[in-house]
A and B are shown apart, each in its own frame.
Chain A
Amino acid sequence: MRVALFTTCLAEALAPRALKATVLVLEHVGVTVEVPDAQTCCGQPLLSNGFPADAALLARRMVELFAPYDAVVTPSGSCCSVVREKYASLFPEDSADHHAAAALAAKTYELIEFLETKLMIDPATLRGKSCATTLTCHDACHLRSINRHGCTAPYLKAACCGDLRDLPDMAQCCGFGGMFSTQFPEVSTALGAEKLAHIASTGATTLVASDTGCAAHLAGLAHRERMTLRVISPAEALAESLGLLA
């Protein structure tokens, strides 16, 4: 099985460690990862902000780039959902592009989903060294559209040896929402502050956020408010617990 890493533009810019962790975790379970060189952005910012035709141009690039692979894996729940749930709808039904986009959608996975549903890896077998970290986990809202919302924490709980605590009101959006974060900054910030308060209430010092955007928003707010909070991706949580990343 040829597996490609869908890096996402946001992770390349803001969270390269999440990408390293994804590669290392996949290699740990015996999967060789390739990184198609020419990948850039999946088009979500364009699609979400009124440029569906431009998003379709980028979707077509992605479809071509990932055509040679059997599976495409990404650490970002949000970008994954765009490929899965939106790509095909960018092209006329029954067009060749539509079918090609649907084919890419069918082989694209968010990392934890890939481990759990495609590779069917029992998380207990990923149990690593003991660590004293207290964590809590917030899932990206876009995992809803691929029926994976709320699935990250249970998998990590069964795999990681850290003390993973339930996040109250996890279902509520953190307020990121792409450009919404700057279009409605007061609302976005208020939602983020509410999320941080829930995180603080768990006593956790590390937040696992299943999307780079949510992670950047919450980490940025915490940093501004001088709240000590380390924000990592699910891939990093696994890689750290397995001793693959320091």
Chain B
Amino acid sequence: MNELIAPALPFDMLPRAREAVRDVKLQQFVGNATHLKDTQRGGIFGRDFGNDYDDLRTVARDTKQYALDHLDELLERFIERAQASGARVHTATTAADACNIALEIARHHGAKSCVKSKSMVTEEIGLLPAFEAAGIATLETDLGEFILQIDGDAPSHIVTPMIHKDRVATAKSFVRELGARYTEDPTELTMIAREHMRGVYRQADLGVSGANFLLADEGAAVICTNEGNFDLSVGGPPVHLVFVGIEKLIRGACDLAPFLKLLARSGTAQPLTVYTSFVRGPRRSDEHGGPKELHYILVDAGRIGVLAGKKRDLLRCIRCGACLNACPVYRKVGGHSYGSMYAGPIGAVLTPELERAQGGHDAGLANYKDLPRASSLCGACYEACPVKIDIPKFLLHDRARLRARGLSPKSEGATLALWRMLSQRPVLFRMALRAVRFHARMLGKADGEQSWLTHAPGPAGAWTKSRDLGVATGESFREWFKEHKRSGGAP
């Protein structure tokens, strides 16, 4: 798997974040795109739903939570109805199981080639490396994923996988890998990719996709796309494999509407994705197109463990990417800094949690101990989330677990322990504040009522590495207030 999204563990985020902040192009591409998407998201919800937006989110939250709370029942219903439609349903406990099921199906058909539409869960389970090892050539047909594939790059955003690249880079890749003539025109670039893909669609043995929702009542899958590549990917090949995390289940078409309203608006500020495809069984005897075989591979890969844990709300996520676009930290560090196919605020909590659920006790956090800290806790993610996942709350929860397991820096812990001790002793606390004022007066540069420190001692030294520290050195508030009261309130 690509080391950018599946790094060696334990993963250290800081070096990647540092490098990203210095990368002028990344700052420009990711910063501009996320700001634009975030602004457009606010705009379309304001225009279309006004004050009802929050109610819509509440409905979506409760609907998805209902599905999670009844997952066993919905799974049974989905399997029964999907089978009745002629589809075959497989359940995969682990990522390896999911890959093996697919490899078995491929072997059975003697498959050598595959066309694949965008799917996060296939990134998660490492399907492409498994196919490659088995000699099955896979073509990514989502334009962004295709460009990443020919570049040996990895997605850095859930919805906009190549957010960190631009068309100049794309133009160069197309010249290098496809022998195309150089052009930066987006339409021409799309035509080049289209030309390249069309022939492959017709000859592929397998079509692979993910799904945005599974409808239990109908035994059907719903796939939301913008490029039409999904329908081409599964319409031509004789076999269609749908990889889907079990948390994508909802009760049925009766519950779908709020999610369709929210997904495209949250992700790309569209009222609806260009294509909303419903998959309901393989080709029927009176039909001319469509796959002869349809397989659902329902992936657990830690989800049941998440469901049983304290962060089950995370499974409500519909992968819209709104929290990434809204996050100040994601905007600065980009997706690859998170060392996972799930970047940004949701990734910072979901990645360690999925790992924990699949590994030993707290394997997750021990391997990703920077992730819970990579947030200013500004709350923009929670505000942007269409299913109201309180991501800051879970970050705090993880920080506490890191601390309890001794995985946070000891020096910080010592400073905070001192702080707690002082905060419980008001007299000492006042003395400490006086000491700060005194030292600031001695060490800093006076400027009116303030003193500026450029090299602060002790724990404040980390602060003054990149900014000065202004400390008020004049009369303390308490002294002033005492005098203010004594003089009868005159300022």
Interface residues of A (CB under 8 A from B): 7, 9, 11-17, 19-20, 23-24, 27, 35, 37-41, 43, 45-52, 54, 57-58, 61, 141-142, 144-145, 169, 171-173, 175-192, 216-217, 219-221, 223-224, 244-245
Contact = CB atoms under 8 A, between A and B. Distances in A.
A49 B470 contact: no
A119 B422 CA distance: 35
B115 interface: no
B442 interface: no
Given A187-B332, A220-B467, A51 B426 contact: no
B400 interface: yes
B465 interface: yes
Contact of A19 (B35, B437, B462, B477): B477
A180 B466 contact: no
Interface in B391-421: 396, 399-404, 408, 412, 416-417, 419-420
Contacts of A20: 477, 480-481, 484, 491
Interface string B8-27: 00000010011001100001
A59 to B, nearest CB: 11
B423 A9 contact: yes
B380 interface: yes
B22 to A, nearest CB: 8
A199 to B, nearest CB: 15
B422 A23 contact: no
A103 B290 CA distance: 62
10 contacts: A37-B426, A40-B424, A49-B416, A54-B420, A144-B380, A169-B35, A184-B14, A221-B468, A224-B468, A244-B491
B328 interface: yes
A83 B27 CA distance: 36
A190 B21 CA distance: 7
A216 B463 CA distance: 10
A13 B433 contact: yes
Nearest to B437: A13
Contacts of B449: 17
Given A35-B478, A37-B426, A182-B462, A177 B378 contact: yes
A175 B454 CA distance: 19
B309 to A, nearest CB: 18
B374 interface: yes
Contacts of B423: 9, 40-41, 43, 58, 61
A180 B491 contact: no
Contacts of B470: 14, 216, 219-220, 223
A9 B380 CA distance: 25
Contacts of B454: 224
Contacts of A184: 14, 17, 329, 373-374
Contact of B400 (A51, A183, A221): A51
Contacts of B408: 49-50
A141 B380 contact: yes
Interface of B: 14, 17-18, 21-22, 27, 35, 328-329, 331-333, 373-380, 382-383, 396, 399-404, 408, 412, 416-417, 419-420, 422-424, 426, 429, 433, 436-437, 449, 452, 454, 462-472, 474-478, 480-481, 484, 489, 491
B411 to A, nearest CB: 11
Interface SS of B by simple majority: helix
Contact of A46 (B329, B420, B437): B420
Contacts of A175: 328, 376
B469 to A, nearest CB: 6
A185 B489 CA distance: 43
Contact of B375 (A52, A180, A223): A180
Contacts of A244: 491
B196 to A, nearest CB: 38
Given A58-B423, A182-B462, A187-B329, A23 B484 contact: yes
Nearest to B466: A189
Contact of B416 (A14, A51, A141, A219): A51
A184 B409 CA distance: 13
B468 A57 contact: no
B446 to A, nearest CB: 13
Q: For B408, B471, B477, which residue has the most chain A Cβ atoms within 10 angstroms?
A: B477
Contacts of A51: 400, 403, 416, 420
Nearest to A246: B491
A58 B420 contact: yes
Contact of B377 (A19, A23, A37, A178): A178
A187 B467 contact: no
Contacts of A17: 449, 472
B18 A186 contact: yes
Contact of B396 (A52, A54, A216): A52
A56 to B, nearest CB: 11
B419 A14 contact: no
Nearest to A244: B491
Given A16-B475, A48-B399, A184-B374, 14 more contacts: A12-B477, A16-B480, A23-B484, A27-B489, A35-B481, A45-B419, A46-B416, A141-B378, A144-B380, A173-B380, A175-B328, A179-B412, A189-B467, A219-B470
Report the 3 A-B pairs with minimum CB-CB distance, sorted nearest first: A177-B376, A50-B403, A141-B378
A217 B376 CA distance: 13
B187 to A, nearest CB: 31
Contact of B420 (A37, A57, A219): A57
A63 to B, nearest CB: 14
A144 B383 contact: yes
B337 to A, nearest CB: 9
A48 B433 contact: no
Q: Which of A11, A47, A61, A171 has the most CB of B within 10 A?
A: A171
